[in-house]
Chain A
Amino acid sequence: MRIEKCYFCSGPVYPGHGAMFVRNDCKTFRFCRSKCIKNFKKKRNPRKTRWTKAFRKSAGKELTVDNSLEFEKRRNTPVKYNRELWQKTVEAMKRVEEIKQKRQARFILNRLKKGKQLEKEEAINEVKKNIHLIKAPHAGKSKQLEDKMVQQLQEDVDMGDENN
């Protein structure tokens, strides 16, 4: 029993699900659901269909080259069963999965950092250009002027006192 990969969306095909298409040149295609089958029949290229993993990997939206991804590889020569090896493998799998998830998350986070930078700049720009929609340019100016005048008068009075 194996969990296969869908040819179109690269999702898991569990046993009892999906369909397989065999072409005249003996190449088999497995699909996870009719959505993928229909897209395949329409001759759509999975590398150009945005929601598939193939697109995401080829467009650099997800982690592609990494050591943690090298562990899961389809091997063509079967290995004889050995309890110890199997147990070790299962534990290793768990650890590798953890690390893989961390790295994939970090990759996406880094990718989206630029967006945050742009957001910040846009906010600054917005405020610079359209501040007049919420605050008139000389909103607090009259008060300022008053205060200034009061200050000036005070200073004059002080100066006068000093002279005297």
Chain B
Amino acid sequence: MALYNFKKIMVVPTAKDFIDITLSKTQRKTPTVVHKHYQIHRIRHFYMRKVKFTQQNYHDRLTQILTDFPKLDDIHPFYADLMNVLYDKDHYKLALGQINIAKNLIDNVAKDYVRLMKYGDSLYRCKQLKRAALGRMCTILKRQKSSLEYLEQVRQHLSRLPSIDPNTRTLLLCGYPNVGKSSFINKVTRADVDVQPYAFTTKSLFVGHMDYRYLRWQVVDTPGILDHPLEERNTIEMQAITALAHLRSAILYVMDVSEQCGHTLQQQLELFNNIRPLFANKPLIIVANKCDVKKISELSEEDQKVFAQLSAEGISVIETSTLTEEGVTQVKNEACDRLLAARVETKMKGKKVHDVLNRLHLAMPTKRDQKERPPFIPDGALTRRRAMEVDTPKRKLEKDLEMELGDDYILDLQKYWDLMNEDEKQDKIPEVWEGHNIADYIDPDIMKKLHELEREEDLKERAGEYDSDEESEDEEMQEIRSLAKQIRGKKQQLVAQSREKDITGPRMPRTAKKVERKELEKQMGDLGLEMDNKDDSHYAQQARRSRSVTRKRKREASAPPTSKVRSQSASRPPRDQSGMRDTKMVKKAKKMMKKSQRDMNRQGKKGEADRHVFDLKPKHLLAGKRTSGTNDRR
């Protein structure tokens, strides 16, 4: 809640920037054009608008600054104290007060000048009034330059404060400088605090987070504290004191037994006694760090007695070494446990807990016989729980291996594979063969299935399924095929000939064309008929007698014809007999002729070409109700 706002504070501009921003905004967002000849109320309105707009802007921004910055009385006392330490409460309050005053002054200025402008009687006068108003407002703001600068710096520092939640579980590390607090926090959490051999390496509070018992814990690292009275402490130490004072946490007082930090054991113990009052009501653990250099058992008798005394008072003293990591987990666990216990106790004492207590009821089943039924915890969980409590030596990571081998290191994840035969781990596994995925064929029973398939195949082959059934065809069939081929060829030939015909001009009937004797004999010869010695055949004789070619005949006396008409008709057969072989053919031709004429005659048509329709819309077909039927008849 309080943390949240620190990062969301609006940027505080410098005085110059502030003025620039507001004035340019006024220029852009208000109308800019005004002329002398406008009506006076329009001119007044124009300038009043500018003054009011500027005032509004300043007012808004300053109010925002005032509300954004946290009020020291409203936030958690830890933060209030921290801010006091870092920024000086008085200065802070003064700065904000100044801003508030500036805001009020600007409002007053604007009000006055708007009132004056009501009596401006010319453009020039109104303009001057506006200039004066804006000028005064800007001067007021110019005077706040130092406050605004200070506030900007405060804002920047505030947003970078570590996000410490004052109410959650916290472990606080304190002690002299250089005792090992930052190393401790580095070991226990993922924080990466600077660890250096000089004192006051840590100059402010640092937070790290860790998990224990499925809860989130904060670990706060403080700058070291020296032993002098409160008034003489500087800001850095004061931060540590503030944290100690206000955070309700478990305290880990870190001591350096080996005195490598530059302070004797006595000094450290004195400091401990001095800040003891701050540790009231908080679980306290003394961490004797750097025990790899010197253990408590190696100390002198008196010093050991002091420690014994401390343990007798109920404060646990635990030896640790952040270098070798011994005792670190022990400290962590104990601190967390004790803090949890303390928190639960306080909650139990409070009022809110009663509502919850009613609901917390663990039902235990009544024993029905004497058999013991302990809860079952699997081995893995037990080992893991044990590992959480004790520091187990970490197994060798790949990262460590990489560090060792340096350039020679090759990442080989195949060595972790869990195969049946260890020596197959480095095999290159084939994945594809000839367009098929091998993974699709993998089956533990594949050989069995293959045997069955091969057996089936054998049976099929024996049954003759794979024999080629090309029965050699007998000669007759082959002859038929060749004939068919010839027929098809001839058909194509005829079609091609028909396509090549010259179809320009009128379509003459076939009889108009003269058939050459040679042509006829050739065609009939191709069809297999004997065409030699056909000089005295009918068609040849007719051809000789034909009149189509007029040849100059010698005029000689010829035998007089018996009858002129008869002779002519004798030389030329009548049309219904020409081209006919026998009477059978004549009869058939006649029949065909009559048949084709029959339909036409029935319909009363004049001939083939008569397509006249007497009645386009016969009434009997188109009139009347229709239920089902066709239009051909009704």
Bound CA–CA A112/B203 (angstroms): 93
A81 at the interface (CB under 8 A from B): yes
A contact residues, range: 35 or more
Contact with B465, one of A96, A106, A124 (Cβ below 8 angstroms): A106
Collect the chain A residues with CB atoms within 8 Å of residue B528's CB.
134-136, 139-140
- The size of the chain B interface, using a CB distance under 8 A, is 52
B488 near A80 with CB under 8 A, answer no
Which positions 6-64 of chain A face chain B at CB distance < 8 Å? 12
For the complex formed, measure the closest distance between the CB of B438 and the CB atoms of chain A, giving whole angstroms.
6
B453 near A99 with CB under 8 A, answer yes
A153 at the interface (CB under 8 A from B): no
Bound CA–CA A86/B424 (angstroms): 12
Bound CA–CA A79/B437 (angstroms): 14
Which residue in chain A gives the minimum CB-CB distance to B420?
A82
Mostly helix, strand, loop or mixed at chain A's interface? Answer: helix
Which positions 444-497 of chain B face chain A at CB distance < 8 Å? 444, 446-447, 449-450, 452-454, 456-457, 465-466, 469, 477, 480-481, 483-484, 486-488, 490-491, 494
Number of residue pairs A-B, CB distance < 8 angstroms: 131
Collect the chain A residues with CB atoms within 8 Å of residue B427's CB.
81, 83
Contact with A along B527-558 (1 / 0, CB 8 A): 11110000000000000000000000000000
B419 at the interface (CB under 8 A from A): yes
Which of A75, A78, A89 has the largest count of B CB atoms less than 10 A from its CB? A89
B431 at the interface (CB under 8 A from A): yes
Which residue in chain B gives the minimum CB-CB distance to A12?
B435
Which positions 395-423 of chain B face chain A at CB distance < 8 Å? 417-421
Collect the chain A residues with CB atoms within 8 Å of residue B527's CB.
132, 134-136, 139
A96 near B450 with CB under 8 A, answer yes
For the complex formed, measure the closest distance between the CB of A141 and the CB atoms of chain B, giving whole angstroms.
9
B626 at the interface (CB under 8 A from A): no
Contact with A134, one of B418, B483, B529 (Cβ below 8 angstroms): B483
Collect the chain B residues with CB atoms within 8 Å of residue A92's CB.
441, 446-447, 450
Bound CA–CA A135/B447 (angstroms): 65
B487 near A133 with CB under 8 A, answer yes
Which positions 477-521 of chain B face chain A at CB distance < 8 Å? 477, 480-481, 483-484, 486-488, 490-491, 494
Collect the chain A residues with CB atoms within 8 Å of residue B436's CB.
3, 72, 93, 97
For the complex formed, measure the closest distance between the CB of A69 and the CB atoms of chain B, giving whole angstroms.
11
Assess A134 versus B447: contact at CB under 8 Å? Given A3-B435, A80-B418. no
B442 at the interface (CB under 8 A from A): yes
B432 at the interface (CB under 8 A from A): yes
For the complex formed, measure the closest distance between the CB of B462 and the CB atoms of chain A, giving whole angstroms.
14
For the complex formed, measure the closest distance between the CB of A128 and the CB atoms of chain B, giving whole angstroms.
9
For the complex formed, measure the closest distance between the CB of A73 and the CB atoms of chain B, giving whole angstroms.
6
Assess A130 versus B442: contact at CB under 8 Å? Given A90-B433, A97-B436. no
A97 near B441 with CB under 8 A, answer no
Contact with B421, one of A83, A130, A134 (Cβ below 8 angstroms): A83
Collect the chain B residues with CB atoms within 8 Å of residue A124's CB.
480, 484
Which residue in chain A gives the minimum CB-CB distance to B456?
A67
For the complex formed, measure the closest distance between the CB of B591 and the CB atoms of chain A, giving whole angstroms.
22
Contact with A86, one of B418, B438, B450, B488 (Cβ below 8 angstroms): B438
Q: What 10 pairs across the A-B complex have the smallest Cβ distances?
A: A139-B528, A123-B484, A136-B527, A126-B484, A133-B490, A92-B450, A135-B528, A83-B424, A127-B483, A130-B487
Q: 9 A-B residue contacts at CB 8 Å?
A: A12-B435, A81-B427, A82-B424, A86-B430, A96-B450, A127-B483, A134-B487, A136-B524, A142-B530
Binding site for B on A (CB under 8 A): 1-3, 12, 67-68, 70-75, 78-83, 85-86, 88-90, 92-97, 99, 102, 106, 113, 120, 122-124, 126-127, 130-136, 138-140, 142-143
